[in-house]
Amino acid sequence: MRLRKRKGMISQELLKLVARARKLAAQPYPTDPQDYNPPPLAQNLASATIIADDIPVAKTPKEKYTKFPKAVLAGCNEPLPKGVPDLRGVWYTYKGPFKEHIERIEQCGNRVVVTGGLIIHDMRADGTLENGVNDINENTGEEIHIGALFENGRLNLRANNKLLGVSRWLEGDEIVWMYIGKENRMRRLKAPPKLAE
């Protein structure tokens, strides 16, 4: 009896994830060619012309966007810290519960901005809540406070800087995106996708 109830709960959870993935597939995606081919970063901090501190922090807008937002870190060329993987670009989820989700990842210094699924999560990967994702949950609209940190080549996000909920890392040319224990695999797009055109 308990096993049947547990299977039912898991099935309901999977159905919710599939419904969310379909909803995400219908959302706007980046159309700016530069999103797909990020410009090179400066060789060192001294030669950077725009650094992360020069750009105001972005938040998810109260009104859900219908056109994909412009890049937050456009023009920023502060180099990434040593050992931090370059995740910049537009990524398409081809496998996993969030199949067909598209997101843009921007990086500049230790700052990371993930835009997609109608959210803009702007953070510094410095392990603090103060500089992490202080935004809203895209599903509930509730406030979230998440610490971000690159650890062993992974961008790890911890709710209230405790529980690891989201992790992204490179495996070859792909990103593995773990979202609350669910694995998604993403491929980098070189140009805007041809979806329902």
C-alpha distances in angstroms, 7 versus 10, 135, 180?
5, 33, 18
C-beta separation of 110 from 124 below 8 A: yes
Domain count, the chain: 1
Structural domain including 69 reads: 2-189
Instruction: Please check whether residue 172 lies inside any domain of the structure.
Output: yes
pLDDT for 196: 39
**Per-residue pLDDT for 111 more than 90?**
yes
SS3 of residue 6 by DSSP: helix
Instruction: Please check whether residue 121 lies inside any domain of the structure.
Output: yes
pLDDT for 79: 98
Instruction: Please check whether residue 94 lies inside any domain of the structure.
Output: yes
SS3 of residue 146 by DSSP: strand
The helix, strand and coil proportions of the chain, stated in percent and rounded to the nearest 5, come to 15, 35, 50
Q: What is the CATH number of the domain that holds 48?
A: 2.40.128.20
Confidence tier at 142 by pLDDT (50, 70, 90):
confident
Instruction: Please check whether residue 144 lies inside any domain of the structure.
Output: yes
Confidence tier at 17 by pLDDT (50, 70, 90):
low
Which range is least confidently modeled, 43-52, 134-143, 166-175?
Answer: 134-143
What are 164's two structure tokens?
A: 């690891």
C-beta separation of 121 from 107 below 8 A: no
Instruction: Please check whether residue 194 lies inside any domain of the structure.
Output: no
C-beta separation of 78 from 86 below 8 A: no
Please tell me the pTM assigned to this model: 0.85
Average pLDDT value for residue range 38-65: 94
Instruction: Please check whether residue 195 lies inside any domain of the structure.
Output: no
**Dihedrals phi, psi of 88, to nearest 5 degrees:** -60, 145
**Dihedrals phi, psi of 21, to nearest 5 degrees:** -60, -40
Instruction: Please check whether residue 128 lies inside any domain of the structure.
Output: yes
Question: How many other β-carbons are positioned within 10 Å of the β-carbon of residue 127?
Answer: 16
Instruction: Please check whether residue 197 lies inside any domain of the structure.
Output: no
What is the bridge-based pairing of β-strands 143-151 and 154-159?
antiparallel
